């Protein structure tokens, strides 16, 4: 392969690695051209592009993007699944293909900046798809919100019941004082006739007494 073509091929692989959500590396020995075509078609449905790569060029490409850990997996016949969609769906499709094509083996994967072993890559296929996980999370959040609302309502009802009980107890221990009816004001009663006569000054006696005092003075 001419040097210019190699440079262009490395640049293309580098672009694919940088733009992929995940990479799955597999040993494709035993697959026919028809098997590879069928595999590419089935993986394309999950947003995955399956390509047979040259190890030397792929090593240069992953080295330039800082994924040197993948270089240890680039031994023997290598095919790379470049995942542009959901890595979990891609892992499920790839594991279905491996069950169909018994000779193909999964070497490992690269996702979120770390290299995954073959076992770790296979375990991704057992995880529920992203849509299912999001739906489960939404259901859990809704259940928790309903539970919190029920607890708040129960606490509010209990508080109101305690408040009513406290008010009943307070009324029983402190009954309201009775207010006496206002009495009508009675006009002061006049003293009896005899008392009025007794209290009247004896003007005639006083007059005589004054005359007697004048005579004695003369």
Predicted confidence (pLDDT) at residue 174 exceeds the cutoff of 90 = no
pLDDT of the residue at 200: 52
Q: How many CB atoms lie within 10 A of CB 104?
A: 21
pLDDT of the residue at 136: 57
pLDDT of the residue at 17: 92
**168 or 195: whose pLDDT is higher?**
168
Predicted confidence (pLDDT) at residue 9 exceeds the cutoff of 60 = yes
Predicted confidence (pLDDT) at residue 157 exceeds the cutoff of 90 = no
pLDDT of the residue at 173: 77
| β-strands 114-116, 105-111 pairing | antiparallel
pLDDT of the residue at 110: 93
Predicted confidence (pLDDT) at residue 64 exceeds the cutoff of 70 = yes
What is the pTM for the complete model shown?
0.57
pLDDT of the residue at 192: 55
Average pLDDT of span 142-160: 71
Nearest-angstrom CA–CA distance, 73 and 108: 7
pLDDT band of 79, cuts 50, 70, 90: very high
Query: Shortest CA distance to 128 belongs to which of 88, 85, 86?
Result: 88
β-sheet with 114-116: strand ranges across: 48-53, 78-83, 22-27, 105-111, 114-116
Q: What percent of the chain has pLDDT over 90?
A: 30
């Amino acid at each position: 392969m001419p040097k210019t073509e190699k440079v262009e091929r490395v640049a293309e692989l580098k672009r694919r690695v940088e733009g992929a959500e995940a990479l799955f590396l597999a040993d494709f020995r035993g697959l026919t051209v028809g098997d590879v075509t069928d595999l590419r078609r089935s993986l394309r449905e999950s947003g995955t592009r399956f390509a047979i790569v040259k190890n030397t060029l792929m090593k240069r490409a992953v080295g330039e993007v800082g994924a040197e850990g993948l270089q240890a997996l680039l031994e023997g016949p290598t095919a790379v699944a470049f995942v542009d969609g959901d890595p979990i769906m891609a892992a499920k499709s790839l594991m279905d293909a491996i069950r169909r094509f018994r000779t193909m083996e999964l070497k490992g994967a690269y996702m979120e900046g770390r290299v995954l072993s073959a076992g770790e890559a296979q375990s991704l296929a057992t995880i529920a798809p992203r849509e299912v996980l999001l739906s489960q999370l939404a259901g859990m959040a809704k259940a928790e919100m309903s539970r919190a609302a029920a607890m708040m309502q129960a606490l509010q009802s209990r508080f109101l019941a305690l408040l009513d009980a406290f008010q009943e107890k307070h009324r029983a221990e402190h009954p309201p004082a009775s207010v006496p009816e206002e009495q009508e004001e009675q006009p002061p009663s006049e003293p009896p006739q005899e008392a009025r006569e007794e209290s009247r000054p004896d003007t005639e006696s006083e007059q005589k007494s004054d005359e007697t005092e004048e005579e004695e003075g003369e």
